[in-house]
């Protein structure tokens, strides 16, 4: 096919266990105007035999002489892609039959979209569902959340080839190259999510994101810092980004975390993003609600050790979004501020009487 609508990019490295299911999920799509570029990235298992067993003319292959990694492999596919749209698919993931059809129809109805994702399901190595992934549907809230944390399944996204080539393709921030690309897109382009589960994202013991979690986390910190510095036009200590991302991920908070500074950074980021993106009223309300909710959560955490800091953060939440009053995180913070000293006195009495 000389002029397919979609190019599916699939890097392959020792993926024999799940590869056939991934390839078949593309070949059996209801949408047929596509090419599948498979990049064999120096595999030493049976992946090559599986790839060569197909005789479908829509499949094109690239063979890397040695293992070059997914970034270079995807960029090699981008260089020869003939499709109008690019649809990545990891070699251990699976697409639902309607994925390409649904995404192309949405793109054709709205030409300003630069990144289109879908909901998805996380499965284990046996195909059992672990959980669902549902990125937010409001496009401005999605961009806001992507500033500091990846929200998307890479095998669910699609983007115009012209956009990704204009941005220079994937960059060497492996294994967070997908998040890096989204981050460069969201700064000046429109993004959207289709509220349908159109991809199965496989998590297993041999998957890249499991083996290199710490490397991935470090890369994501750097991407989030770059995003924040781009909006705020100032340098930001990495520790502030690490602390803020820990809070937003509900992870243990680092000892060096300064909640007052984190809250100020988050608050300032919101205003900078709103100024740059000019969201409509619905988008602004969604962004403000999310920001104020997390500020209230920070106030709740701060109340355990510093009531003054907690009140300072809580005021920011209320000023940003009056609906904070109806948020559970707000009342948790208030209760800790009010009851905190009383509970401390009780604890001290119990401790002294026990001694």
- Would you kindly state where each structural domain of the chain is located, as residue ranges? 6-212, 237-354
Give yes or no for a contact between 93 and 201, defined as CB atoms under 8 angstroms apart.
Answer: yes
List Cβ neighbours of 236 (8 Å cut-off, separation of 6 or more): 225, 228, 229, 265
- The pLDDT of 91-104, averaged and rounded, is 98
Task: Give the pLDDT confidence of 281-312 residue by residue, as tens digits.
Answer: 999 999 999 999 899 888 888 887 888 888 88
Tell if the pTM clears 0.85, that is, is over it.
yes
Rounded (10°) angle between helices 281-302 and 328-354: 0
d(CA 103, CA 120): 14
Band (pLDDT 50/70/90 cuts) for residue 335 is low
Any idea which architecture 6-212 has in CATH?
Answer: Alpha-Beta Complex (3.90)
Task: Give the pLDDT confidence of 200-210 residue by residue, as tens digits.
Answer: 999 887 665 55
pLDDT tops 50 at residue 355: no
Task: For the chain, give the mean pLDDT.
Answer: 90
d(CA 349, CA 39): 68
Q: What is the per-residue pLDDT for 212? A: 74
Q: What is the per-residue pLDDT for 211? A: 59
Structure tokens given for 251? 């992870």
Q: What is the per-residue pLDDT for 343? A: 43
How far does Cα 326 stand from its chain's mean position?
28
The percentage of residues in the chain with a pLDDT greater than 70, rounded to a whole number, is: 88
């Amino acid at each position: 096919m000389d002029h397919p609508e979609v190019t599916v990019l699939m890097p392959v490295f020792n993926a024999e266990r799940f590869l056939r299911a991934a390839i078949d999920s593309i070949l059996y799509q209801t949408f047929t105007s596509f090419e599948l570029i498979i990049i064999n990235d120096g595999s030493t298992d049976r992946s090559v035999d599986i790839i060569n067993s197909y005789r479908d003319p829509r499949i094109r292959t690239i063979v890397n002489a040695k293992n070059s990694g997914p970034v270079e492999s995807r960029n090699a596919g981008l260089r020869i892609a003939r499709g109008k749209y690019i649809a990545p698919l990891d070699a251990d993931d699976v697409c639902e039959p309607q994925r390409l059809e649904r995404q192309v129809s949405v793109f054709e109805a709205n030409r300003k979209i630069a990144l289109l994702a879908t909901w998805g399901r996380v499965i284990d190595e046996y195909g059992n569902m672990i959980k669902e992934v549902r990125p937010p549907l409001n496009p401005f809230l999605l961009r806001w959340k992507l500033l500091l944390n990846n929200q998307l399944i890479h095998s669910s996204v699609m983007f115009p080839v012209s956009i990704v080539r204009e941005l220079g393709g994937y960059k060497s921030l492996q294994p967070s190259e997908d998040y890096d690309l989204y981050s460069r897109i969201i700064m000046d382009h429109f993004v959207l999510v289709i509220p349908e589960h159109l991809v199965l994202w496989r998590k297993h013991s041999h998957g890249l994101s499991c083996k290199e979690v710490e490397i991935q986390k470090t890369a994501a910190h750097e991407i989030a810092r770059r995003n924040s510095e781009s909006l705020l036009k100032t340098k930001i200590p990495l520790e502030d980004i690490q602390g803020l991302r820990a809070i937003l991920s509900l992870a243990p908070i680092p000892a060096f975390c300064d909640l007052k500074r984190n809250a100020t950074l988050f608050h300032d980021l919101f205003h900078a993003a709103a100024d740059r993106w000019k969201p409509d009223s619905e988008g602004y309300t969604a962004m403000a609600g999310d920001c104020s909710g997390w500020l209230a959560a920070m106030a709740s955490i701060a109340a355990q050790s510093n009531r003054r800091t907690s009140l300072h953060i809580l005021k920011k939440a209320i000023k940003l979004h009056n609906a904070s009053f109806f948020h559970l995180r707000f009342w948790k913070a208030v209760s800790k501020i009010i009851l905190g000293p009383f509970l401390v006195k009780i604890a001290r009495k119990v401790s002294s009487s026990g001694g």
